[in-house]
A and B are shown apart, each in its own frame.
Chain A
């Protein structure tokens, strides 16, 4: 990301000495912005200005790496406020908190079991947080050790006691856990502890102002492997602070140029789950909850999948035969693409019409009916191959398939290739109920 002429000009000495070969500092700034000159040509630029100009070429939100091994993850490098502008890069790390006062092994094992299949992919939580509720450093280190031995997830170490953090890092530091947190009172010691293992460190303020001030102090100690906590815990405040931090970071306000953490922990697990989902959609890099119950976690992971989907790349469902409402041998066979929304619409409207049916999704790389047709991915050949390979006609006692109305032109060739009767369905899935009534069930 290049700097603009005005931003560079503000850092120059404005002496108009001409020693750089340009008539004015302004002209020099423009040459620099255009990449046609080097800052070294200016003999009077201050070190502070030089550093400001150097750091300005860094991305607006730093990339932070957490953990080791196959479950290691990355946060940051985000470039937009709204997913429709481009896409969100790194999905929120959904993190479940364990207390060093409870049976760590039992809860961690429960967390390990939170594995869900969503649209053909495996989705899991991202981290385990261990909280030093006992206030005892060695108990904390033991809990961290137990957690580490029983899960491959990266850890988040929660304690305001530097000694407890140091003890825990001795156990787990090599695996790059997140250290929580450096605050106004302990930041120097926390920075030293985290630095030793190059572990990401959360900087915790009481509000945006104090957070920015503390990040500056931590950065002055030479540590930039950071994650931000504005201290907000109320739903409304978290949403506002998360938005401010993202906005400011994108406008290159450097103290906020790191991923964030938000705590949704709540005694009421429904409230907790709802807040965690909202924080996931609104910019939290890490979101922390207490519950390890699947009914509370599945909605958060599902929303994360949905919001972090690249809007330019639609989600695909698996290419297979889907059975709606236990279809029998006389049920219709509907053909559509494996674009998730196409499938959901066809499935939803078929179910809504209370029509048992088979839905065959042709693999079109997840693009919609008309787009796939235009791109040559939804053709008589691909339809015929899919129908044949999936063996759907073995399940029924008729020889008819129904294709979307938008690709009526494919019916003749498809009939020829499959030897089946090809019925042209409605142009929109909303037309399915009346189609079934008027054309199929007659």
Chain B
């Protein structure tokens, strides 16, 4: 079943930044409810830029807490600050998602044990200290490293969400087919296969027609085996695409009200 990771609770958005500054839970909670009703399965929580690591950890814990007060959904804790990650995990109810590690050994050795310790799912990016590879093969090679390391830390492939890194189609057009092929290859790496995810709206950065590009990418990625995406859960037509693709891929049982039911899971 396709999992929407709602992207809206992020300090990069002005209303959330203000809310963090004023310690006002309402905007976060409004978005939590709105995204839950729109069909989100996870809620991404990101502090945005914060001056100190300690302060960021404190803010993350507060954000996770108030978000979960409003919506009965798990959070995707989105930060590169490991201290903030751990503080978020500590207050989280249910199974959280860690966003994210890369294939750099130091990161894997810090974040995989954390995921195992808290029973959390984890997003893993197919990049390392050399950056983002171009070819599908190099992306899946990194995915394999992520998978083998996760396995060594006792993390089941079904809790590992591999992100092959979607890049903007206006400046990195040649990455498009490579990403799609990488998704196919990643789904063959193990049995059960690892999950896949992506930051969907990256595909349309600075393009006109962003919604159309996002929707098209989502449908194409789902055909290749994309299991989830960080995306705009409140883009109704985008969610309709996810619901319809799920039906066509026989991931859920058809009924005439399928699009409505998809949002009520």
Residues of A within 8 A of B (CB): 4-7, 9-10, 26-27, 29-30, 33, 251-252
A residues near B190, Cβ cutoff 8 Å: 4-7
Which residue of chain B has its CB nearest to the CB of A30?
A: B144
Extra 9 A-B pairs, beta carbons < 8 Å, given A26-B144, A26-B145: A4-B189, A4-B190, A4-B193, A5-B147, A9-B148, A26-B148, A27-B144, A29-B144, A30-B189
In the complex, are the beta carbons of A7 and B191 less than 8 A apart?
A: yes
| Residue from A6, A27, A29, A30 having most chain B Cβ neighbours under 10 A | A6
The answer to whether A6 and B148 touch across the interface, beta carbons within 8 angstroms, is yes
B95–chain A nearest beta-carbon distance, Å: 23
Is B109 at the interface (CB under 8 A from chain A)? no
Residue of A nearest to B194 (CB): A6
List chain B residues, Cβ under 8 A from A33: 188-189
Indicate whether B140 reaches chain A with its CB closer than 8 angstroms. Answer: yes
Nearest-CB residue, chain A, relative to B138:
A27
- Residues of A within 8 Å of B189, CB to CB, are 4-6, 30, 33
B72 within 8 A of A: no
| Chain B residues with CB below 8 A from A251, complex form | 191
Residues of A contacting B140 with CB < 8 Å?
A: 30
B200 on the A face (CB < 8 A)? no
Taking the nearest CB of chain B, how far is it from the CB of A84, in angstroms? 11
Query: A29: which B residues are within 8 A, CB to CB?
Result: 144
Interface residue SS majority, chain A: helix
Contact B191 A4 (CB under 8 A): yes
How far is it, in angstroms, between the C-alpha of A26 and the C-alpha of B146 when the chains are bound? 11
In terms of DSSP, what is the predominant structure of the interface of chain B?
helix
Q: What chain A residues lie within 8 Å of B191 (beta carbons)?
A: 4, 6-7, 251-252
Complex interface residues of chain B between 110 and 141 (CB less than 8 A to chain A): 140-141
- Kindly state the separation between the CA atoms of A29 and B190 in the bound complex, as whole angstroms: 11
Complex contact A26–B141 (CB within 8 A): yes
Q: Give the chain B neighbours of A252 by CB distance below 8 A.
A: 191
- Asked if B15 lies at the interface with its beta carbon under 8 angstroms from chain A, I say no
Cα separation A240 to B236 with both chains bound (whole Å): 44
Bound: A5/B140 CA distance, A: 10
CA distance A33 to B143 in the complex (A): 14
Residues of chain B from 182 to 209 with CB closer than 8 A to chain A in the complex:
188-191, 193
Q: Give B187 Cβ to nearest chain A Cβ, in Å.
A: 10
Residue pair B147, A6 in contact (C-beta under 8 Å) = yes
Find the residue from B140, B145, B191 having the highest chain A CB count within 10 A.
B191
Chain A residues with CB under 8 A of B141: 26-27, 30
B235 lies within 8 A of chain A by Cβ: no
* Shortest Cβ distance from B142 into A: residue: A26
**A6 and B151 form a contact (CB under 8 A):** yes
Instruction: Provide the residues of chain A in CB contact with B147, threshold 8 Å.
Output: 5-6
CB distance from A405 to the nearest CB of B (A): 22
Report the minimum CB–CB distance from A4 to chain B (whole Å): 5
Q: How far is the CA of A14 from the CA of B147 in the complex (A)?
A: 15
Residue-wise, chain B 157-197 has the 8 Å CB interface mask toward A (1 for contact) of: 10000000000000000000000000000001111010000
C-alpha spacing A346/B148, complex, angstroms:
58
Residues of B within 8 A of A6 (CB): 144, 147-148, 151, 157, 189-191
A29 CA to B145 CA, complexed, in Å? 11
Q: How far is the CB of A380 from chain B (nearest CB, A)?
A: 33
A30 to B188, CA, bound (A): 10
State A252–B192 Cα separation when bound (angstroms).
Answer: 12
Inter-chain contact A4/B188, CB cutoff 8 Å = yes
Complex A-B, nearest 10 residue pairs according to Cβ-Cβ distance, in ascending order: A6-B190, A4-B190, A5-B189, A4-B191, A26-B144, A5-B144, A30-B144, A6-B147, A6-B189, A9-B148
Q: How far is the CA of A7 from the CA of B141 in the complex (A)?
A: 15
Task: Give complex CA distance A399, B147 in Å.
Answer: 73
